[in-house]
Amino acid sequence: MSSTSTDPSKTDSSKITSSKTVTLNHVAEDAGVSRSTVSLVLRNSPLVAAVTRARVQASIKRLGYVYNRGAASLRSQQSNTIGLIVTNITNPFFAELTVGVEDGLEESRYTALLGNTSDTLKKQNLLLERMQEHRPDGILLCPTDGTSVAQLRRMQKQTPVVLFVRYLPDLEIDYVGADNVKGGEIATAHLISLGHKRIGFVGGPAYSSARRDRLQGYANELRIAGIPVDERLIVVGPMTREGGRQGILELLNQENPPTAAVCCNDLVAVGAMLGLQSVGQIPGEDFAVVGFDDIDEAQLWHPPLTTVALDPHHLGEMAAHLLLERIAKPKGTPRQITLACRLVVRQSSGGPVTAPKPQ
Amino acid sequence: MSSTSTDPSKTDSSKITSSKTVTLNHVAEDAGVSRSTVSLVLRNSPLVAAVTRARVQASIKRLGYVYNRGAASLRSQQSNTIGLIVTNITNPFFAELTVGVEDGLEESRYTALLGNTSDTLKKQNLLLERMQEHRPDGILLCPTDGTSVAQLRRMQKQTPVVLFVRYLPDLEIDYVGADNVKGGEIATAHLISLGHKRIGFVGGPAYSSARRDRLQGYANELRIAGIPVDERLIVVGPMTREGGRQGILELLNQENPPTAAVCCNDLVAVGAMLGLQSVGQIPGEDFAVVGFDDIDEAQLWHPPLTTVALDPHHLGEMAAHLLLERIAKPKGTPRQITLACRLVVRQSSGGPVTAPKPQ
DNA sequence: CTGAAAGCGCTAACAA
DNA sequence: TTGTTAGCGCTTTCAG
């Protein structure tokens, strides 16, 4: 004991138990083993003898040690974190998808960093930047308008990226989304089978690949039925209720309005129904509406919505799995996964068409 | 050039530009300044000369350097990360609240780590543990059933914690939530003013402080009106649509069923409306329903829901601000913030009561 | 205003 | 099986 100092705060370094954070060093000391042994125990290495392990674990518990993943990341070059960037968490579709991602991650050791872009390039770039500062091991992104392919390509070199819901042209990248073309086809085929001849397509921003594909399916099916695709019946707008309301009114104000519409998603569809009601038309009677997504609310609206059901939870899980796979095997060839969807018929698409009602 | 080595990979250490990650060292070297100067520039310190700053920033851009926040955290002991734990992101109320938190954080340098407990203690504990490994600078928690006060008290010593939406008894802690007692009162007063004498209270788990307070308000108002509180009219259940459906049916099956009900939230309320419809009763005509939250969907349902409006976005923002404040001033006295709420009358509560319709 | 030196808490060789 | 020795990339005194 070299007690030359009279300052009581300068005790032997080993004695500073105070209220500071407990580190792996403290555990090692307490258990009477080296730091590497503790590290091995923390990571469940089988190289540690059972007795040693038990002793270390006892110390961990006793001292209330909690692992510092940040410090580990610095050394090991992996953060055990992934970034999840959605366009709108407020859309039940994405909310469900988010819990799907979480569930898909549950078994793994990853935690998700969540970001919401509000479908805005500015926020997306900000988020991407912030997230990269945290060195996520992978990124799950639903790209918004104007997302730079070059930027994404650059990012991919550093961090695995998987796109979901929307993809980008000219980019070799992992992706999981719904079979939107098929979805557009079955929605349109349903309306055609009901006797509709003039069918509109409402909402969605032109840059959304999901929207493009749904529109593609819509056009395919019209062509098969020998109905010409009329550009005036296709209206662009945000994927929101308000977008749907405005879109349907635009359609109704034309000189030869449609009698039915495929809406880009359920939010747009309910907006369309509100728009119809606001001018005295009854959805499902005077006008047939079909949506996309089958969010929980769809069956509760009035009238209950006919819609193309996707499984967002499953989609989220798949996206998470695909990302984990890519993290494990960064050099593998990108995979494009496309999930089936199915039509759920409810009242908003109504029965067979009668005469179009003049507005 | 001391080209003694024939191995091309063993060049001077300073020349290893390759495809490795660019660090602050590389920037310093490139700009011809010391590492500390770069560090200061990164953190916008005013101590750096304008020319130096410009040179450093040019190097940063040229090399494509991205800040490693994890490394910084290790040294500076702050992660610039906060943990946000909600019970159910799928509930539009929490989805809105989440974006409120993000907006509240936008100005700051913090990023949110999101977790979803599904209102389950097991998941909450798992999340709390994982998050602490990331050393968040603060935690925003909506506590689920069985949350240990002792555990929270322990956590508080390490990391500022603010509770939202639900609080815990016997705990000095920051909290922001709605004025649920008042909310319960105005909802109940509304039904009483319509002439209802037998009013039920449906849904919500007994451990939720939000539910307890709403129930309290309900009871207060009944007492004021001289209506006895009948325990049989108060039914417990999960805060979901299904919980509401079952709850209302339980009420209707009693020998002397109520003519109106205050529901614990909007999800429960719509479930109740579905339940009513399933037995041929028309909400707003045969039975009055009031909800809580005023989620966007509330006005779209059939009939549109009368509800006590909370502002989840604002609540989230407040929670974020309170946390930031507490991070800045960890020793300050905890604050309990309670946000006003207001009644939004729509059709589900109907007009004045007529005679109760036999089921 | 800028630089030198030390170290945050952990992991990864390698040796013993 | 366990210990020793170097850092990971940054910030932080403290001198100049």
**Residue B24 CB closer than 7 angstroms to strand D?**
yes
Q: How far apart are CA A243 and CA B338, in angstroms?
A: 35
Q: What pLDDT is recorded for position B358?
A: 40
Which chain A residues are Cβ-neighbours of B102 within 8 angstroms?
115-116
Closest CB from B81, B90, B133 relative to A95: B90
Indicate the helix (H) or strand (E) that contains B40.
helix B35-42
Closest CB from A90, A115, A301 relative to B301: A301
Pick the closest to residue A100 from A167, A165, A159, A152 (CA basis). Answer: A165
What is the distance, to the nearest Å, from the Cα of residue B354 to the centroid of all Cα atoms in its chain?
40
pLDDT, one tens digit per residue, over A68-86 is: 999 999 999 999 999 999 9
B284: left (phi over 0), alpha (psi -120 to 50) or beta: left
Q: Of residues 58 to 87 in chain B, which lie within 7 A of strand C by their beta carbon?
A: 74-75
Q: How far apart are CA A271 and CA A294, in angstroms?
A: 15
CA–CA distances in Å: residue B134 to residues A110, B112, B116, B149:
11, 12, 17, 22
Min distance B112 CA to chain A CA atoms (Å): 7
Q: How far apart are CA A165 and CA A249, in angstroms?
A: 28
Q: Which nucleotide is nearest to A35 (CA to C1')?
A: D3
Nearest chain A residue to B108, by CA: A130
pLDDT, one tens digit per residue, over A161-192 is: 999 999 998 899 999 999 999 999 999 999 99
**Residue B71 CB closer than 7 angstroms to strand D?**
yes
**Residue B80 CB closer than 7 angstroms to strand D?**
no
DSSP A283: B
Q: Where are the alpha helices (DSSP H) in B194-332?
A: 209-224, 241-252, 266-278, 312-328
Which chain B residues are Cβ-neighbours of A98 within 8 angstroms?
89, 114, 116
Handedness of CA A234, A236, A240, A243 (dihedral sign): negative
Q: What pLDDT is recorded for position B354?
A: 52
Closest CB from B68, B92, B115 relative to A135: B68
Torsion angle, alpha carbons of B56, B58, B64, B67, to 10? 30
Residue A282 class from Cβ within 10 Å (0-12 exposed, 13-18 middle, 19+ buried)?
middle
Pick the closest to residue A155 from A181, A186, A180, A124 (CA basis). Answer: A124
Q: What is the layout of strands, in order, in the sheet containing B342-344?
A: B234-235, B199-202, B260-263, B288-293, B306-309, B342-344
CB pairs under 8 A between A and B: 110
Interface test with B, best of A18, A22, A24, A74 (most B CBs within 10 A): A74
For residue A52, the SS3 value is helix
Q: How far apart are CA A236 and CA A247, in angstroms?
A: 7
Contact A111 B96 (CB under 8 A): no
**Residue A324 CB closer than 7 angstroms to strand C?**
no
Kindly state the percentage of chain A with pLDDT values over 90: 79
Q: Which nucleotide is nearest to A75 (CA to C1')?
A: D8
B40-48: list long-range contacts, CB under 8 Å, 24+ apart: B42/B67
Report the half-sphere exposure of B332 (CA within 13 A, side-chain side). Answer: 16
Q: What pLDDT is recorded for position B296?
A: 82
Which chain A residues are Cβ-neighbours of B274 within 8 angstroms?
300
**Residue A45 CB closer than 7 angstroms to strand C?**
no
Q: What does residue B97 show for φ and ψ, rounded to 5 degrees?
A: -60, -40
Contact B274 A135 (CB under 8 A): no
Contact A70 B70 (CB under 8 A): yes
pLDDT exceeds cutoff 90 at A59: yes
pLDDT, chain A, mean = 90
Structure token pair of residue B78: 């702050």
pLDDT exceeds cutoff 50 at A8: no
**Strand boundaries in chain B, DSSP class E:** 81-86, 111-116, 138-141, 161-164, 174-178, 199-202, 234-235, 260-263, 288-293, 306-309, 336-339, 342-344
DSSP A232: G
Q: How far apart are CA A134 and CA A228, in angstroms?
A: 52
Min distance A227 CA to chain B CA atoms (Å): 34
Handedness of CA B66, B72, B73, B76 (dihedral sign): negative
Pick the closest to residue B348 from B242, B270, B296 (CA basis). Answer: B270
CA–CA distances in Å: residue A18 to residues A29, B51, B136:
15, 45, 22
Q: What pLDDT is recorded for position B352?
A: 66
Q: What pLDDT is recorded for position B145?
A: 87
CB within 8 A of B244, min separation 6: which ones? B202, B203, B237, B263, B267, B268, B269, B270, B271, B272, B273, B274, B275
Nearest chain B residue to A79, by CA: B70
**Between A317 and B15, where is the model more confident?**
A317
CA–CA distances in Å: residue B307 to residues A233, B177, B276, B339:
38, 17, 17, 16
Q: What pLDDT is recorded for position A19?
A: 52
Do A142 and A205 meet the contact criterion of CB atoms below 8 Å apart?
no
**Residue A58 CB closer than 7 angstroms to strand D?**
no
Residue A7 class from Cβ within 10 Å (0-12 exposed, 13-18 middle, 19+ buried)?
exposed
Task: Measure A316 CA to D13 C1' (Å).
Answer: 48
Q: What pLDDT is recorded for position B27?
A: 93
pLDDT exceeds cutoff 60 at A252: yes
Min distance A94 CA to chain B CA atoms (Å): 9
Q: How far apart are CA A266 and CA A203, in angstroms?
A: 10
Min distance B343 CA to chain A CA atoms (Å): 22
From first to last of the 359 residues of chain B, give the pLDDT tens digit.
333 333 333 333 333 334 568 999 999 999 999 999 999 999 998 888 999 999 999 999 999 999 999 999 999 999 999 999 999 999 999 999 999 999 999 888 898 888 999 999 999 999 999 999 999 999 999 999 899 999 999 899 889 999 999 999 889 999 999 999 999 999 999 999 999 999 999 999 999 999 999 999 999 999 999 999 999 999 999 999 999 999 999 999 999 999 999 999 999 999 999 999 999 999 999 999 999 999 888 887 888 999 999 999 999 999 999 999 999 999 899 999 999 999 999 999 987 665 444 44
pLDDT, one tens digit per residue, over A116-125 is: 999 999 999 9
Pick the closest to residue B171 from B185, B158, B152, B155 (CA basis). Answer: B152
**Residue A75 CB closer than 7 angstroms to strand C?**
yes
Pick the closest to residue B108 from B339, B313, B323 (CA basis). Answer: B323
CB within 8 A of A106, min separation 6: which ones? none
Bond into B303 cis (ω within 30)? yes
Q: Where are the alpha helices (DSSP H) in chain A?
A: 24-31, 35-42, 50-63, 69-76, 92-106, 121-133, 149-158, 180-193, 209-224, 241-252, 266-278, 312-328
pTM above 0.95, yes or no: no
